[in-house]
A and B are shown apart, each in its own frame.
Chain A
Amino acid sequence: GESVGLHLPTLSVQEGDNSIINCAYSNSASDYFIWYKQESGKGPQFIIDIRSNMDKRQGQRVTVLLNKTVKHLSLQIAATQPGDSAVYFCAEKESGGYNKLIFGAGTRLAVHP
């Protein structure tokens, strides 16, 4: 279903630690998933994506894990930096040829020095 984000959960980490942000998606027909980062006053910024035929994908300092059995997605950020502080959204796209994204509620990541 559509996301409702009344109260954003917050993950607080120390600079240099690894961060893990979790997301439960809703539609078993979704076959493409994206993580976005949104800083204050800006639009969502693409971080990494994964297709449903994969269970792991790595980028620079980021890894996305997909567990289709329990409809769970996670974003791992290695050696978290103050610049990583933002709100992170997962998004799912249903197979079928359209670009409609269903967004999760978002998680605020706060990185402390």
Chain B
Amino acid sequence: KAGVTQTPRYLIKTRGQQVTLSCSPISGHRSVSWYQQTPGQGLQFLFEYFSETQRNKGNFPGRFSGRQFSNSRSEMNVSTLELGDSALYLCASSLAPGSGTEAFFGQGTRLTVV
């Protein structure tokens, strides 16, 4: 069974641009969560999607958005990029929401904003 696939693996963008990252969850998994990882802040929750609906959102500005498609694939978008958005963006896949549901991570997309 294939794992969580994130594309692209690496991105370099200029301040002010926007970016879209993609995540394909494990087959059969319907819940997708996104996290930002930086050396200063560690791993921080961005948002979670299930059945094409955003179920939960972390403390990030509105420039960060996402969506989920009917096949459970998810995208996240960051508009008006800032230098501080440089980070590893991780996607986690779970069967469904709820406690006791293991979350499996992809390799991440390394975004560098210059």
A-side residues, CB < 8 A to B, are 2-6, 31-32, 34, 36, 41-46, 49, 51, 89, 91, 93, 95, 97-106
Say yes or no: A99-B39 contact (C-beta < 8 A), given A2-B44, A43-B106.
Answer: no
- B70 interfacial by beta-carbon distance below 8 Å: no
* B99, A100: Cβ atoms closer than 8 Å: no
**CB < 8 Å neighbour of A100 from B41, B48, B100:** B48
* A45, B105: Cβ atoms closer than 8 Å: yes
* A101, B56: Cβ atoms closer than 8 Å: no
B-side residues, CB < 8 A to A, are 4, 6, 31, 33, 35, 39-45, 48, 50, 55-56, 58-59, 90, 92, 94, 97-108
Number of A-B contacts (CB under 8 A): 91
Residue of A nearest to B49 (CB): A99
Using A34-B102, A34-B103 as known contacts, list a sample of 20 further A-B pairs with CB atoms less than 8 Å apart, ordered by residue number in A.
Answer: A5-B39, A5-B40, A5-B43, A32-B99, A43-B90, A43-B106, A43-B107, A44-B90, A46-B102, A46-B104, A51-B99, A98-B98, A99-B31, A99-B50, A99-B97, A99-B98, A100-B48, A101-B45, A101-B92, A103-B35
